[in-house]
Amino acid sequence: MSEISILLVGNTDRSEFRAARKRLDALGRVTAVPDAESAAAALAAAEMVPAVIVVAQAFPGQFPHQAIDRLRRLAPLARVLGLLGSWCEGEVRTGQPWPAAMRIYWHQWPARCGAEFARLSGGQCPAFGLPVTATDEERLLSSAQSPRSALPGVTAIYSTSPQMHEWLSAACRRCGCATVWLRPPQIVKIEGAAAVIFDGTDFSEQQLCQFRQVQAATRPAPMVALLDFPRIEDHDRALRAGAAAVLSKPLQLADLFWELERLFAGGATRA
């Protein structure tokens, strides 16, 4: 596997970007600059030839279209990848997002980044490596076509929704993984579960209590927490409570499978 050259643009000292920065440092050779001007200067001086330009945007308009276009002209073979903060979640509806750039929100980044960069370093085409004319639907289909490993063992699923449980269970079974439903309010003890999926909402105090009940019933199985549009506070609270990973809803199954493969392989380190 070849080392990936990454140009990281923006302030990644922000709390919502710290996990993304940690993952990038582990995935390739990162050159970090604070703004678009510094990035353009580095590219113009031929200090590096990046395979990927990651732009960490904390709020809409922080990096205008002209700045992104300039980076593209200076590094025409590089792919531009948006790492977006919570304030950017409404930009698609009410703003002007960059064209021809894959958007990944900070809470999607650990799983999405891990899977896509693994494909790139392995000589395969990641979703963000498709032609710049590719649509979001085409990128989604490309990610969904990634080969999946079989998931041996049992995954316990906690959910108050029968429909959500059935959807998650059917997806796990397609990967060869047996499932058991931890149906509230009666949480029975499960012996030997390899992983747990906790279908939550905003990780309020009530959610934290439910999480701990599930944790006690399935210990020591690692748990993936699914939360509705999590904020950094919810994300951190879930990790402090013992979650091995936090994913956002709406959920892409490819992200969930990537995390489950990591946990089943014994790599249940926190995001």
Question: Which ranges of the chain have pLDDT less than 70?
Answer: 1-2, 143-151, 266-271
Reference 145, options 125, 164, 129, 173; nearest CA is 125
Query: What is the domain-level CATH number for residue 251?
Result: 3.40.50.2300
Amino acid at residue number 260 = L
Specify the pLDDT at position 204. Answer: 86
Specify the pLDDT at position 1. Answer: 47
Specify the pLDDT at position 36. Answer: 95
Specify the pLDDT at position 39. Answer: 95
pTM, two decimals, is 0.81
Residue 218 lies in a domain: yes
State the maximum Cα–Cα separation within the chain, in Å, rounded to a whole number.
Answer: 63
140 in the same domain as 160: no
118 in the same domain as 179: no
How many domains are contained in the chain?
Answer: 2
Specify the pLDDT at position 267. Answer: 47
Specify the pLDDT at position 176. Answer: 82
Specify the pLDDT at position 145. Answer: 61
Output the six-digit token pair for 254: 């490819």
**How much is the CA Rg of the chain, to the nearest whole Å?**
19
Q: Give Cα 137 to chain centroid, integer Å.
A: 17
95 in the same domain as 62: yes
Specify the pLDDT at position 268. Answer: 47
Domain membership of residue 128 as a residue range? 4-144
Contact 236, 97 (CB under 8 A): no
Q: How many CA atoms are closer than 13 Å to the CA of 176, on its beta-carbon side?
A: 8
